Chains A and B, each alone.
Chain A
Amino acid sequence: MQARSEQDARIMVITGNAAAAYGAMLCRPDVVATYPITPQTEVIEKLFEFAASGELDAEMVPVEGENSAMNVVTAASMAGGRVFTATSSWGLAFMYDAMLAASGTRAPVVMVNVNRETPGIIAVSSGQQDMISTRDSGWIQLVAEDCQEILDQVLMAYRLAEDHDIQVPVMVNYDGFYLSYLAGKVEVPSKKRVSDFLAVLNEQPKRQILLPGQPLGCGTHGILQGFVELRYKHVQAMERAKAAFDAIDQEFASQFGRGYGGQIEEYRTGDADIVLVASGSMCGTIKTVVDRKREQGLPVGLVRLRMYRPFPSEKLTQVLKDRKAVGVVDRSVGFGIQGGPIYSEVCSLSAKFGGASVLSFIDGLANTDVTSDHVEQMLDLLSAAARGEPCPQVTWVCMEE
């Protein structure tokens, strides 16, 4: 389908998985290593299709497991390549050690993780527990809301990962099933426009890479203060990633006409007494409920987390300041902590953002829909909390029929 006005982009109706594959292909990776897993498989099928047609010129490595996928792309990145891989759930768990190697060696790997419930109870269904379980892997973690944003975030991910001031691998997350198989309207930019967007990466100082004949080695032992120094640098780079992502998002908006707000998206939060904090595909549904509530005169808003690691503490503190009630929706659980994982992190900021009640909502586990009704329930509870009524700290919304 050709866009009528813009020759620089094609309007297509494609799934979230296809959008991820288009995003990767447009960035012209050198090496792509992949292993199939539901609901990610379509991403890699699409990439092999692109390679077969010649649309993608990359070394394609159909590895024998996710662990190898991550190792192949990390090493290829060390050898100077732009790389891509994709996974989900158990696959993410299986590559965990290699993910640590990628971030520890500061390999600018870009990966798509299609969120799915994680090991323990087998579930071929959506949930963010996989992303949460790699929280401390030293990766930058982004979360997309819809098909278009998946494609756009993959482009932004390369800008972030390969930024000489960052050099940290980036994981783009999107809900399995809800987005992986959702076919919607996506504007697919031309390769030319994408390479213009990425061109700035070619103008920065070269990072160290492995080449025959050069006496450089990567993966050296960090001994005592040497180890401390590298950890400190990594943590500092993660901090820099926050502002960098905001700036990249702004630049993206000016070049492609789509801006998302950087680390967080604020939706009708201006005068809102009650604010929900959420991430991923459920935010679309939440926005429709917010609109409805606004029509009824209820001052509610949504803060959408687009960046999970580094955690946008400053932005959240700012936007949550002096609200009457804040609800955090987690599509995952916290084992041995009160409430969801994102909730507990928002709580850690509550001393800074003021005296609002903060409630935890666990919803959408294992493909239990985060329905409009659920969102209404949450807002009702928050209204009660805002009025000072006692409310449960944690509500498993998805457990109630």
Chain B
Amino acid sequence: MIEVRFHGRGGQGAVMASRIMANAFVRIGQYGASFPMFGFERRGAPVTAFGRFDANPVREKTQIYHPDIVVVLDPSQRFFEKVYSGLKSHAVLVLNAALPFETQPHENLETAGIVNADQISIEEVGRALPNTCMLGAFAATTGHLPLESLEAALEDYFQGSRLKANVRCLRRGYEEAAVGHF
């Protein structure tokens, strides 16, 4: 089972990203479960969501304290300590940022996929909605999901021109993610 923790801000679509990811895993015959951290989420407030993905049914219903992967949708949180709290060794980071890291932010972090999802979504959707782009970057960085299943999953959440724009975000996230190792 892989455990993924999403960090974002209200309005960036972190919760939806975790749900689309669960949807995509189910599409490849696996199981997925995602849920948000609870609180009075309001636009702008930091938001955490969780995702568990496995070939077997996911039974755990707790928050994730030791993630394998963290997905950071909010560039300003890249240096937040809590983003890296409890990381398992050989952990993976998928980050929305314009600039690469100069130093390793956490010793357990082995791989990072960085993409400028804000910029891409502004170009494709018209405003900064980094979530679908980040899913593309997730697929490119981790290799856990084929791009097609994510694309198919998007159809459950978007329609029409919004769907097309988000598919473009997803693909560009996949193609433009700069994946490197620490």
Contact, chains A and B (beta carbon distance below 8 A)? yes
**Chain A positions near chain B (C-beta within 8 angstroms):** 1, 11-13, 15, 124-126, 146, 175, 177-179, 181-185, 281-282, 284-285, 287-288, 367, 369-372
Contact, CB under 8 Å: A369 / B38: no
Other-chain contact of B27, A1, A124, A284 (Cβ < 8 Å): A1
A240 to B26, CA, bound (A): 39
Contact, CB under 8 Å: B35 / A182: yes
Q: List residues of chain B with CB within 8 A of the CB of A182.
A: 33-35, 61
Q: List residues of chain A with CB within 8 A of the CB of B23.
A: 1, 13, 183
Q: Is B18 an interface residue (CB 8 A)?
A: yes
Q: Is B77 an interface residue (CB 8 A)?
A: no
Q: Is B40 an interface residue (CB 8 A)?
A: yes
Other-chain contact of B33, A125, A183, A282 (Cβ < 8 Å): A183
Give, as a whole number of angstroms, the nearest-CB distance from B115 to chain A: 24
Contact, CB under 8 Å: A183 / B27: no
Most buried by B among A177, A185, A281, A282: A185
A284 to B57, CA, bound (A): 10
A11 to B38, CA, bound (A): 27
A15 to B40, CA, bound (A): 19
Q: List residues of chain B with CB within 8 A of the CB of A281.
A: 61
Q: Is B60 an interface residue (CB 8 A)?
A: yes
Other-chain contact of B61, A1, A12, A15, A179 (Cβ < 8 Å): A179
Other-chain contact of B34, A124, A183, A287, A371 (Cβ < 8 Å): A183
Which 6 pairs across A and B sit closest by C-beta, in order of nearness? A284-B59, A13-B23, A281-B61, A182-B35, A184-B33, A183-B19
- Nearest residue (CB) in A for B33 is A184
The answer to whether A287 and B38 touch (CB under 8 A), given A1-B27, A185-B26, is no
A146 to B59, CA, bound (A): 8
Most buried by A among B32, B33, B36, B153: B33
- Nearest residue (CB) in A for B35 is A182
The answer to whether A184 and B59 touch (CB under 8 A), given A1-B23, A13-B22, A13-B32, is no
Give, as a whole number of angstroms, the nearest-CB distance from A115 to chain B: 13
Give, as a whole number of angstroms, the nearest-CB distance from B42 to chain A: 13
Query: How big is the B interface, by class?
Result: 20 to 34
15 contacts across the A-B interface (CB closer than 8 A): A13-B153, A13-B156, A125-B38, A126-B38, A179-B61, A182-B33, A183-B33, A183-B35, A185-B26, A185-B31, A281-B61, A282-B61, A284-B59, A367-B38, A372-B60
Q: List residues of chain B with CB within 8 A of the CB of A125.
A: 38
Q: Is B128 an interface residue (CB 8 A)?
A: no
Q: List residues of chain B with CB within 8 A of the CB of A126.
A: 38
A196 to B33, CA, bound (A): 30
Q: Is B161 an interface residue (CB 8 A)?
A: no
Q: List residues of chain B with CB within 8 A of the CB of A371.
A: 62, 65
Give, as a whole number of angstroms, the nearest-CB distance from A121 to chain B: 16
Q: Is B165 an interface residue (CB 8 A)?
A: no
A11 to B156, CA, bound (A): 12
Contact, CB under 8 Å: A185 / B32: yes
Contact string against A for B residues 50-62, beta-carbon threshold 8 Å, 1 for contact and 0 otherwise = 0000000111111
**Apart from A1-B156, A124-B40, A183-B22, what are 8 other A-B pairs with CB-CB below 8 Å?**
A1-B27, A146-B61, A179-B61, A181-B35, A185-B26, A284-B59, A285-B59, A372-B60
Give, as a whole number of angstroms, the nearest-CB distance from A266 to chain B: 16
Give, as a whole number of angstroms, the nearest-CB distance from A210 to chain B: 43
Q: Is B63 an interface residue (CB 8 A)?
A: yes
Give, as a whole number of angstroms, the nearest-CB distance from B27 to chain A: 7
Contact string against A for B residues 1-42, beta-carbon threshold 8 Å, 1 for contact and 0 otherwise = 000000000000001001100110011000111111010100
A178 to B35, CA, bound (A): 7
- Nearest residue (CB) in B for A181 is B35
Contact, CB under 8 Å: B58 / A183: no
- Nearest residue (CB) in B for A289 is B60
A390 to B26, CA, bound (A): 47
Give, as a whole number of angstroms, the nearest-CB distance from B63 to chain A: 5
Give, as a whole number of angstroms, the nearest-CB distance from A373 to chain B: 9
A153 to B27, CA, bound (A): 25
A11 to B153, CA, bound (A): 12
Q: List residues of chain A with CB within 8 A of the CB of B58.
A: 184, 284
Other-chain contact of A288, B33, B60, B153 (Cβ < 8 Å): B60
Q: List residues of chain B with CB within 8 A of the CB of A15.
A: 19, 35
- Nearest residue (CB) in B for A282 is B61
Contact, CB under 8 Å: A1 / B62: no
A11 to B40, CA, bound (A): 31
Contact, CB under 8 Å: B26 / A369: no
Contact, CB under 8 Å: B60 / A284: yes
Q: List residues of chain A with CB within 8 A of the CB of B27.
A: 1
Q: List residues of chain A with CB within 8 A of the CB of B62.
A: 285, 369-372
A182 to B57, CA, bound (A): 14
Q: List residues of chain B with CB within 8 A of the CB of A288.
A: 59-60
Contact, CB under 8 Å: B60 / A13: no
Give, as a whole number of angstroms, the nearest-CB distance from B35 to chain A: 4
